[in-house]
Amino acid sequence: MRPETSSAWRPAQPGDRMQDVDTPALILDLAKFEQNLARLMRAVQPYGVRVRPHAKSHKCIEIARRQMQAGAAGICVQKLSEAAVFLEGGITDVLITNEVVGARKLRRLAETALAHPGARLGVCADDIGVVRQLAEVCTQTGARVDVYVELDVGQNRCGLVGNKDVVDLARAVVASPRLNFMGLHAYAGSAQHRRGVPERRAAVEAASQRAHDARAALRAADLPCERITGGGTGTFLYEAASAVFNEVQPGSYVLMDSDYARNAVDPEAPRFEHALALLTTVMSLRSADGNERATLDAGLKSFSTDSGPALPTFSGWRPYAVSDEHTVLHKTGDGPAIRLGDKALLVPGHCDPTVALHDWIVVVRNGIVEDVWPVDARGALF
């Protein structure tokens, strides 16, 4: 059991003013969050596809519940231990968009499914040996699991390439009465952050063609293919419009980050707001030597730098150096005067691994804290 010491340190209470929130703390702007929720559902509505938002972006049961209330058909997660958290949180349809490998994990997958008889739990597969192991453990335990064959549609990370392999794997799934073969997982991950609209469209066209061909091969082999699922915040509209995909999986749309904001805007796609920011405090200041420097109380342990540092929401100050618990801003142009103790909001470069660093999301409307939500699946790496 972990001690409660760090978790007990809540950064805020409902009713606090935002400027009194302890820092560093994730701030969710509730109005923008609700806009993002609504805009996504409105954007895909004409295409009649299911929406299964990716909860790896937020790891928060309350956000998943609101996504379900907004019309989502279920959620995605990336890890089995994340699935357990959301199933325990009452989400009744969870897809692990990832392979689960190894005897210990496969047994745990079956046990997790068994523990939630009213819910659906799905998993991806790209290896026939693993599918046979999963079928065996499900037969032994009486568990029932949805299985999607993962297609590699350009990410070059997991998944199958050849249609014969797809058919063989689907057949192994169908052979087990404890496994439900659902269809294809075809996530074009590397397409999400291609900056230009034509490049993103072209990548999804190629992915759609691949999924279309794999489905044709399955049908030719008298196998079902009820669902083709994929798409992220950068491309979901193209999957939705493809007439091949019937489910989309955007995750970051609900929080947004600087990296997605660097994608060229498609005028046909909805605009998502930066609903998530990191509140920090100016903890050291120097201006005597002409170079104005403001040091914030948040660094590598409060935001992930894989897509660059978190960026100030105000102009004239830029990150100069980031260390474990500090970000040094330098004044580079016209911008606000900064005093010691001032609060500064930053937009993370990449929301998913940033949220994973925090225990809490402080939920704010009109500058007042409405609630503090736990990052329930924080640390759910397994």
- Interface of this chain with a second copy, residues 299 to 328, rule: CB under 8 A: 300-302, 304-306, 321-326, 328
Q: 223: which residues sit within 8 A by CB, 6+ positions away?
A: 167, 170, 171, 174, 181
Binding residues for a second copy, how many (CB under 8 A)? 84
The answer to whether 83 and 120 have CB atoms below 8 angstroms apart is no
With binding defined as CB under 8 A, does residue 158 bind a second copy?
yes
Q: Please, how many CA atoms are within 13 Å of residue 347, restricted to the half-sphere of its CB?
A: 17
Piece of 195-203, 219-227, 261-269, 297-305 that binds a second copy (CB under 8 A): 297-305
Q: What is the DSSP string of 143-191?
A: --EEEEEEB-SS--SSSB--HHHHHHHHHHHHT-TTEEEEEEE---GGG
With binding defined as CB under 8 A, does residue 295 bind a second copy?
yes
Distance CA 150, CA 278 (A): 35
Query: Which two structure tokens, joined as six digits, stand for 47?
Result: 């295409």
With binding defined as CB under 8 A, does residue 23 bind a second copy?
yes
With binding defined as CB under 8 A, does residue 340 bind a second copy?
yes
With binding defined as CB under 8 A, does residue 259 bind a second copy?
no
With binding defined as CB under 8 A, does residue 337 bind a second copy?
no
18-29 exposure pattern, b = at least 16 Cβ within 10 A, e = fewer: beebebbbbbbb
CB of 125 to a second copy, least distance (A): 10
Q: 224: which residues sit within 8 A by CB, 6+ positions away?
A: 174, 181, 183, 218
With binding defined as CB under 8 A, does residue 226 bind a second copy?
no
Q: 83: which residues sit within 8 A by CB, 6+ positions away?
A: 77, 94, 96, 112, 121
Interacting positions 91-150 with a second copy (CB under 8 A): 98-102, 104-105, 126-127, 129-130
Binding mask 351-380 toward a second copy (x if CB under 8 A, else -) reads -xx--xxxx--------------x-xxxxx
Interacting positions 42-81 with a second copy (CB under 8 A): 56, 78-79, 81
Task: List the one residue from 15, 69, 265, 289 that touches a second copy (CB under 8 A).
Answer: 289
Binding mask 189-218 toward a second copy (x if CB under 8 A, else -) reads x-----------------------------
Q: 180: which residues sit within 8 A by CB, 6+ positions away?
A: 144, 145, 146, 147
Nearest CA among 28, 2, 19 for reference residue 275: 28
With binding defined as CB under 8 A, does residue 288 bind a second copy?
yes
Q: Closer CB to a second copy, residue 44 or residue 55?
A: 55
With binding defined as CB under 8 A, does residue 345 bind a second copy?
no
With binding defined as CB under 8 A, does residue 188 bind a second copy?
no
Interacting positions 264-283 with a second copy (CB under 8 A): 281-283
Query: Which two structure tokens, joined as six digits, stand for 281?
Result: 């405090």
